[in-house]
Copies of this chain bind each other. A is one copy, B any other.
Amino acid sequence: MSLSVESESALAAAAPKSQLVQLKHGRASVAVMRDQWFIAAMSSELKSKPLATKLYGTPLVLFRDKEGKAGALVDRCPHRNVPLSLGQVTDDGNLRCPYHGWQFDRAGACKHIPSLASESEAKARRALSLPTIEQQGFIWVYASTEPDCVPNKKPHEFGLLGKAGYSTVTQVVEAKGTMFSTIENALDVPHTAFLHRGLFRSESRGLHITAKVQRSKDRVIAEYVGEPRPTGLIARILSPSGGIVTHFDRFIMPSVAQVEYSIGTENHFIADSIATPLDDFHTRIYAVVSFRSRLPHFLIRPFVKPLALRVFNQDAIILERQTELIEAFGGEQFASTEIDVLGKHIWRLMRTAERGGEALVEDEANEVTLIV
């Protein structure tokens, strides 16, 4: 793993300087991926008031124009640098700064300056804007403030959302963790048997299974072959009588962690965890869980959220303590084994995207044995 130069110095500044142990190759798995889509909010959160959020440490403000179309600006008035999110949306659908009343449209153009006799629009008076798409109940922003930026890709689609026979549960959570660590955690199998003991898996039954890993330009996929039905609570509810298990873990650029499980022919489950990097060490997860089951969904639904939150809360505590420790040491120093099957691939994809060389990731495939 490597590290952006900026993160290194940020960590170095925070850490105490006279340490018994100084990391020789300390770093932080933080990658700033520009020109990628991230979720900024759920559609239901953005009403008539502007909504403040963050992306890669930069404050953003979302608002809807007269037609209800969502826009995203960097949350700073170009005039005197007051947060625009403290202001209001005018009847014209402009966002108005609370200090001197400057008004901006969705594209960031300054449409009005009170008391000014001359023209208000000017290049230096533009608020920075980000491309925005609203789809499937989420507001996505494109990580670029280049003027006239036209995204060359589309946001992730939730394949089972609204599909006949499927139910979907959505949840937003936040972790104190880098985006990398949070996503690796969401796709990591070994810790589920330990940290979440009893929820997913119980003690090891000593079975050898194989993880087939395939990395391509924008994703890495692990398929688990030979996996028995997990013995944990979740699996027993979904499929009391067992059945053939199909299990894929997928990381899809820039920040989708996707877990897909089929047990028998009737139970199918996809959990998408879409990460938004609020800043280097805080990550928001928009979790969209769709499932089909032989059991009546009204029986399953009440369990999905509490179980998912219990799992997430266990992870969140670990991520927070991990992050605090990384900050305390002024960097991380990870030692991996072959059963950390996806981590290095995820990092390579993120890191290459940060450097702008996305297309340069070569395909790679390997197999790993795990004991479960």
Contacts and interface: CB of A to CB of B under 8 A. Distances in A.
A74 interface: yes
Given A143-B20, A279-B16, A337-B113, A321 B86 contact: yes
Nearest to A189: B115
A50 to B, nearest CB: 14
B57 A16 contact: yes
Interface in A89-135: 98-101, 113-118, 122, 124-125, 128
Contact of A7 (B17, B32, B79, B372): B17
B117 A334 contact: no
Q: How many copies does the complex hold?
A: 3
Interface string A52-93: 000111110000000000000011101111110010000000
Interface residues of A, number: 78
Given A325-B81, A335-B124, A19 B56 contact: yes
A307 interface: no
A194 B100 contact: yes
A6 interface: yes
A9 interface: yes
Given A114-B194, A193-B114, A20 B34 contact: yes
Interface string A16-29: 11111100000000
A193 B115 CA distance: 9
Interface in A4-49: 4, 6-7, 9-10, 13, 15-21, 30, 32, 34
Contact of A18 (B32, B82, B318, B326): B32
Contact of A99 (B32, B58, B74, B191): B191
A339 interface: yes
A57 B339 contact: no
Interface of A: 4, 6-7, 9-10, 13, 15-21, 30, 32, 34, 55-59, 74-76, 78-83, 86, 98-101, 113-118, 122, 124-125, 128, 143, 145, 181, 188-191, 193-195, 204, 208, 279-280, 318, 321-322, 325-326, 328-329, 332-339, 369-372
Given A59-B328, A80-B181, A81-B325, 9 more contacts: A10-B16, A15-B57, A18-B30, A18-B57, A19-B57, A78-B335, A79-B336, A100-B195, A124-B335
8 smallest beta-carbon distances between A and B, as pairs: A6-B17, A10-B17, A16-B57, A101-B194, A20-B56, A20-B58, A115-B190, A19-B57
8 contacts: A16-B280, A17-B57, A19-B57, A79-B335, A80-B322, A98-B195, A114-B190, A117-B370
